[in-house]
Amino acid sequence: MTTQVTARTVPYKEKKPFDYSPFLRKGKLPHIWCAGCGHGIVLKSLLRAVDATGIAKDDLAMVSGIGCSSRTPGYVDFNTMHTLHGRATAFATGLKLAKPRLKVIVATGDGDAMAIGGNHFIHACRRNMDMLILVYNNYIYGMTSGQASPTTPEEKISTTSRYGSIEPAFDICELAKTAGATFVARGTAYHAQELEKTLYEGLMHRGTAVIDILDSCPTYYGRFNKYKNVAEMMDKIEKDGTVSVAQAAKLSPEKLEGKQLRGILHRSERLEYCDGYKNLVDRVTG
Ligand code: SF4
Ligand code: MG
């Protein structure tokens, strides 16, 4: 039983100009995302990263739940599943067990992954099944008109927190690491080229990889929280609100106050779930 797709072993190399068309289902375009939404930037970075890995489209599967970011599988020419709210990692787990040769990517939002899908998320991390979980984190439920999600920062306005959220927000990376994910990273749509490299590393990792991707929902989060425009929103949240791991090493705790770290935050090796399952089958039947 083959449990891993063939990928290039050469280091990441940026490629430009880049032809996106072989990776897209052009009949499904134009996409549904609002002007200024960060999801399109993430899609572009992902396609460039996929190309850099050399993984064939037929060896890739993308699984999503429900939400604006979960529309992504409709646009990519991989094996795709658009499933139920919060259940993307559960479907991805079944798919990977049935077809362990596939590289499985989960596209999920902060509401989808951290609220209704929270349990599936932590158990996927615990099992260390080979899948890349992309959490498109725009701090709000976008598709259903801007309710607070588990990542909405305190005091921020949403449809369900009109006077400011009083709930502490989840740190997706801390949760993933604590639950057992063996690759944990954070990127932003603002830092698209850096995100491309992080996505490449996540795709090349064997085991559960989680990337918390900060992107923007100008239509709800931006309007509710009085950002003048998308550029100001991206500047304040993604540029000024984050710092790379390398930069952080040179900054004092005071300067790091309120900033989120970007880059690869955790990487370790542990038995991958499908390999463990194969070992079990061999032991029982051998
Ligand atoms: Fe993007 Fe928000 Fe529009 Fe959804 S509602 S497409 S998350 S900007
Ligand atoms: Mg969201």
Q: Could you report the per-residue pLDDT of 9-34, keeping only the tens digit for each?
A: 556 777 778 999 999 999 999 999 99
**Where do the domains of the chain lie?**
36-285
Closest of 209, 247, 238, 19 to residue 124, by C-alpha: 209
Say if CB 220 and CB 159 are below 8 A apart.
Answer: yes
Q: Where residue 1 falls among pLDDT bands split at 50, 70, 90?
A: very low
Whether 7 has a pLDDT exceeding 90, the answer reads no
Which residue among 143, 221, 233 is best mutated to probe the pocket of ligand 1, counting the most ligand atoms within 8 A of its Cβ? 143
* CA 146 to ligand 2 centroid distance, Å: 8
pLDDT above 90 covers a percentage of the chain that reads: 94
Quick: pLDDT tens for 72-107: 999 999 999 999 999 999 999 999 999 999 999 999
* Ligand 2 centroid distance, CA of 181 (Å): 21
Pairing of strands 183-188, 208-214: parallel
CATH architecture of the domain 36-285 equals 3-Layer(aba) Sandwich (3.40)
- The angle that helices 172-179 and 118-127 make with each other, rounded to 10 degrees, is 50
- If you average pLDDT over residues 135-141, what whole number do you get? 98
**d(CA 58, ligand 2 centre) in Å:** 29
Average pLDDT of 35-56? 97
Closest protein CA for atom 3 of ligand 1: 34
**Does the C-beta of 189 come closer than 6 Å to ligand 1?**
no
pTM over 0.85? The answer is yes
Provide φ and ψ at 201, rounded to 5°.
-65, -40
Q: What number does the ligand 1 atom closest to the CA of 138 have? A: 7
- How many beta carbons lie within 10 A of that of residue 254, not counting itself? 6
The strand pairing partners of 147, in sequence order, are: 141
In the predicted structure, residue 108 carries a pLDDT above the cut 70: yes
Closest ligand 1 atom to the C-alpha of 39? 1
What does DSSP say about strands 140-141 and 103-109: parallel, antiparallel, or unpaired? unpaired
The protein residue whose alpha carbon is closest to atom 5 in ligand 1 is: 142
pLDDT confidence band for 2 (50 / 70 / 90): very low
Q: Which residues surround ligand 2, an ion (CB under 5 A)?
A: 109-110, 138, 142
Distances (CA, A) of 2 to 41, 101, 154, 251, 267: 33, 6, 46, 45, 24
Distance of CA 235 to the CA centre of its chain: 20
Q: Under a CB-based contact definition with an 8 Å cutoff, are residues 263 and 246 in contact?
A: yes
Please report which confidence band the pLDDT of residue 160 belongs to, taking 50, 70 and 90 as the band edges.
very high
The alpha carbon of 256 and the centre of ligand 2 are apart by a number of angstroms equal to: 25
**Are residues 1 and 278 in contact, defined by beta-carbon separation less than 8 angstroms?**
yes
Buried b (16+ CB within 10 A) or exposed e, 12-40: beeeeeeeeeebeeeeeeebebbebbbbb
The single-letter DSSP state of residue 161 is B
Q: Which residue has the tokens 């100009």?
A: 17
Site of tokens 């057992």 = 180
pLDDT tens for 180-220 read 999 999 999 999 999 999 999 999 999 999 999 999 999 99
What's the gap in Å between 197 CA and the centre of ligand 2? 23
CA separation for the pair 180, 54 (Å, rounded): 27
State whether residue 13 is helix, strand or coil: coil
